[in-house]
Amino acid sequence: MPISPIYKEIIDFIAAGTTPQNLVEFRPSKEAKERVADLIHREKTTGLTSEETAELNHCLQLEHLMRLAKSSARQYLME
């Protein structure tokens, strides 16, 4: 499976280097949010292909990872 634009967005963010503050402030692009919203909507209505299901699952895992990272970054900022 090729790297999705959403994965590429996160990879580029990490590869560019970051600080705890930049991590807390990170927001996915409008296109990434729209893609995930579309996948979720279609999953609930018409269904997804197996590739789309895998993409959605990966996106949800990335979201969880970013939430955990942001939580840790906030702790660093409070110290």
DSSP letters spanning 4-21: PHHHHHHHHHHHT---HH
What is the domain range of residue 36?
Answer: 5-78
Let me know: does 36 contact 59? Beta carbons within 8 Å: yes
CB 10 within 8 A of CB 62: yes
Distance between CA atoms of residues 56 and 49, nearest Å? 10
pLDDT confidence of residue 2: 74
47 φ/ψ sector (left φ>0, alpha ψ -120 to 50, else beta)? left
Per-residue pLDDT 10s for the chain (79 aa) are 578 888 889 999 999 999 999 999 999 999 999 999 999 999 999 999 999 999 999 999 999 999 999 999 999 999 9
Q: What is the pLDDT of residue 3?
A: 80
Task: Quote the number of domains for the chain.
Answer: 1
